[in-house]
Amino acid sequence: MATTVTYSNDVTRIFEDVQTLAAAATLTAADSGTTYILKAAEGKTITLPALKSGVHFKFIVGSAFATSDWVIDSAEGDNIEGLLIVNGASVVAAGEDQINFVASAETVGDHVSLSCDGTNWYVSGAGNAAGSITVTDPS
């Protein structure tokens, strides 16, 4: 959730909730609105919560990882839709289960945003190097 800060001049500023992830995580709807900075020597799996309209997240590569991918996994599967721009090319997500930040291809700053309408997760984002972000349906 966002944090509201009121200054003495009565101007209210809302700051985005930003957290660093270095371990596997299972998110809940209560985590909605959070930006996660992915920082670990090896990738982990982040499981999205059950589909719920209005839930949204952002994930940003915060440090290089060389041994394994960071995987963003849908709890239900077959419901990630959208478009990523990776090294100038379109990567289409159509009924996918996972989004992968690929080890050794990632660049600090690669990112994806996910928004849910209660039926699907809609993804957008960008990756610098060829193959740095992929979408898959492994099941």
Question: Quick one: pLDDT at residue 15?
Answer: 84
Question: Quick one: pLDDT at residue 66?
Answer: 81
Pull the structure tokens for residue 94. Answer: 């159509």
Helices (H), 1-139: none
Question: Quick one: pLDDT at residue 11?
Answer: 59
Question: Quick one: pLDDT at residue 6?
Answer: 56
Question: Quick one: pLDDT at residue 1?
Answer: 57
Question: Quick one: pLDDT at residue 101?
Answer: 98
The phi, psi pair for 122, rounded to 5°, reads -105, 125
The secondary structure of 97-125 as a DSSP string is: SEEEE-TTT--TT-EEEEEE-SS-EEEEE
Question: Quick one: pLDDT at residue 13?
Answer: 63
Low-confidence ranges of the chain (pLDDT < 70): 1-13
Question: Quick one: pLDDT at residue 34?
Answer: 97
Residues 105/57/122/24 CA torsion (nearest 10 deg):
50
Is 2 exposed, middle or buried, given 0-12, 13-18 or 19+ CB atoms closer than 10 A? exposed
Question: Quick one: pLDDT at residue 16?
Answer: 87
Question: Quick one: pLDDT at residue 119?
Answer: 97
Q: Which residue ranges make up each domain of the chain?
A: 3-136
Residue 5: count of CB within 10 angstroms of its CB: 10
